[in-house]
Amino acid sequence: MNVILSVTNILFPIITFPYLTDVIKPGGTGKVGFAFSVIEYFNIFAQLGIPTYGIRVCSQVRDDKEKLTQTAHELLFINLCMTALTYVVFAIAVCTIPILKDERLLFIIASFSMLLTTIGMEWLYKALEEYKFITVRSVIFKIIAMVAMFLLVHNEDDYLIYGAISVLATTGSMILNFINVHKYIDMKPRQSYDFKRHLKPAAMFLAMACATTVYTNLDTVMLRLMTTKEDTGYYYASIKIKYVLLSIITSLGAVLLPRVSYYVEKKRMDEFKNVITLALKFVLIVSTPAVFFFIMTAKPCILFLSGEDFYDAILPMQILVPTVLVIGISNLLGIQVLVPMSKEKVLLYIEIGGGLLDFMINILLIPRLRSSGAAIGTLAAEIFVTVSLMIYLSKDLKEVFGKLEILKILVSFVIASLFSFGAFILTGNFISNLRLPEFYMFGLNISEFFSGYHKGACLVRIFVPFIVYCIAYVPCLCLMKEKLTVDILSRFLHFGKKTG
């Protein structure tokens, strides 16, 4: 279910972003990107770390409906109080800070994501591993948002509508969560609640969320404050691919927290380590080729998704893509290992270090390199966090690290990369020398569409090397007898024979 959800997260920006960048240009996308980055800072205080803490604490009592109901009521009440307080601070900020006041309506629209996230209680559904429901309603709202995007966004002044539709796409489905929650917990108030027991651990998760948000959104905010809205728009375009890839890489890790928390609670450590081993293998197998492929195809990717106006987004994207690998590892080691082991304080200190490093690099490089400087700061911070986590957990996960079969993955990666790079060069040369007779279809000049770096040519330059990569990479992994790949393929083949 989470893989399906990740695929929809890919398709939505691929389908809509090229249209949006043509219509509202770098300035409009920069405004919206800046608004959502600022709202994210308010949102981490509104949520008080509950999105992560709630998964852990609810998964530990999910076998007892009464305890689950009591816990969910307490967390929701705390969440609502913090959200109300955050809205008060937000209102003051919007009325007094000039850069927010100038786009007041856009920030108000973006702020609805805070309220919807609070009432959505996504942490409860994840703790109960209700991924089918999460996926289905999310896909429905993304389809609605996609249709609305094409119907309602027509010019540069429609960036406000784009902002509202973005809220609908990302958090609109939370309304269904709230309506449906009575199926899992009793909605009647209890006679007594113990709110205090959640405050200290929730505050710790809040601090972690603050640190993470600083070095994941700091680049966009500092760019807007130190440069122009166009530079912010270029950067916003460059991180689109990164977020799409991360949604795939973290799709497995996202469903692990309730399960590994349950294993740790029941002292089933062998099963805990087995799950972590499989998850790390998944991250390495998928993210390693993804990093190389999207560095190689950065130019056609940006020009296809965003158009020629976003040419300056190519280098920042190439700098940012490696973060997919390091974030995939750090997300797994931090959220899926340290948190279930109740070592979130260690994760907090490491994330604070990453945030400080990001801030210092941004101060030094953004004035000189603009969006590329922000990308360098983000990459350095993510590498720092990942390396620190690996060093800290080296003893605890020595057995896990020893089972990763890194050499087999690396050899397969190198061979497939060479084939894909050759296909990329040959495809580029073929398109450059291609001379199609001029003809039109549905008002589109087909010969021009498939020439140079126009949309059609860019799609071919991406698609052909991707197919070659897949054809080369998977068989190489099988020939190297990489266990996870062989196991997955055998399961698919067995399923196919069974259904056939």
pLDDT tens profile 295-347: 999 998 888 877 777 888 899 999 999 998 998 888 888 877 887 777 878 88
Say whether pLDDT at 120 is over 50: yes
Percent of the chain's residues with pLDDT above 90? 25
Say whether pLDDT at 2 is over 70: no
pLDDT tens profile 352-375: 898 889 889 999 999 988 889 989
Reported confidence tier of residue 451, pLDDT bands at 50, 70, 90: low
**What residue type is assigned to position 328 of the chain?**
G
Reported confidence tier of residue 207, pLDDT bands at 50, 70, 90: confident
Exposure string for 374-411, b = 16+ CB within 10 A, e = fewer: bbbbbbbbbbbbbebbeebbeebbeebeebbbeebbee
Say whether pLDDT at 5 is over 90: no
Say whether pLDDT at 100 is over 80: yes
Q: What length does the chain have?
A: 500
Q: Most confidently modeled of 11-20, 24-33, 173-182, 428-437?
A: 173-182
- Helix extents (H) in 194-255: 196-226, 229-249, 251-254
Task: Tell me the pLDDT of the chain averaged across its residues.
Answer: 83
- At 499 the pLDDT is 47
- At 376 the pLDDT is 93
Question: Per-residue pLDDT averaged across 184-199, rounded?
Answer: 86
Q: Most confidently modeled of 249-263, 412-426, 479-493?
A: 412-426
Cα separation, 235 vs 312, in Å, equals 9
Higher-confidence residue of 253 and 138: namely 138
Angle at 442 between CA 440 and CA 444, to 5 degrees: 50
Question: Per-residue pLDDT averaged across 448-463, rounded?
Answer: 73
- At 94 the pLDDT is 92
| Token pair for 248 | 């795939």
Angle at 386 between CA 382 and CA 390, to 5 degrees: 170
Q: DSSP 3-state helix, strand, coil percentages of the chain (rounded to 5)?
A: 85, 0, 15
Cα separation, 54 vs 206, in Å, equals 12
Least confident of 17-31, 77-91, 287-301, 476-490: 17-31
Question: Per-residue pLDDT averaged across 140-164, rounded?
Answer: 87
* CA neighbor of 371 nearest in space, from 58, 484, 379, 455: 379
- At 282 the pLDDT is 84
| Domain segments of the chain as ranges | 2-404, 408-499
Residue carrying structure tokens 């957990």: 393
Say whether pLDDT at 73 is over 60: yes
Higher-confidence residue of 61 and 493: namely 61
Count other C-beta atoms under 10 Å from residue 225's C-beta: 11
Say whether pLDDT at 31 is over 50: yes
**121 secondary structure, DSSP code:** -
Say whether pLDDT at 492 is over 80: no
| Token pair for 437 | 């007779």
**What residue type is assigned to position 100 of the chain?**
L
Burial class (CB in 10 A: 0-12, 13-18, 19+), 177: buried
Cα separation, 382 vs 360, in Å, equals 14
- At 442 the pLDDT is 44
Question: Per-residue pLDDT averaged across 241-262, rounded?
Answer: 69
Least confident of 133-142, 281-290, 433-442: 433-442
- At 447 the pLDDT is 57
- At 435 the pLDDT is 66
**What residue type is assigned to position 464 of the chain?**
V
Exposure string for 183-210, b = 16+ CB within 10 A, e = fewer: ebbeeeeeeeeeeeebeeebebbbbbbb
**What residue type is assigned to position 128 of the chain?**
L
Say whether pLDDT at 91 is over 90: yes
Say whether pLDDT at 443 is over 60: no
DSSP H or E stretch at residue 137: helix 131-152
Query: How would DSSP label each residue in 342-376?
Result: T-HHHHHHHHHHHHHHHHHHHHHHHHHHTHHHHHH
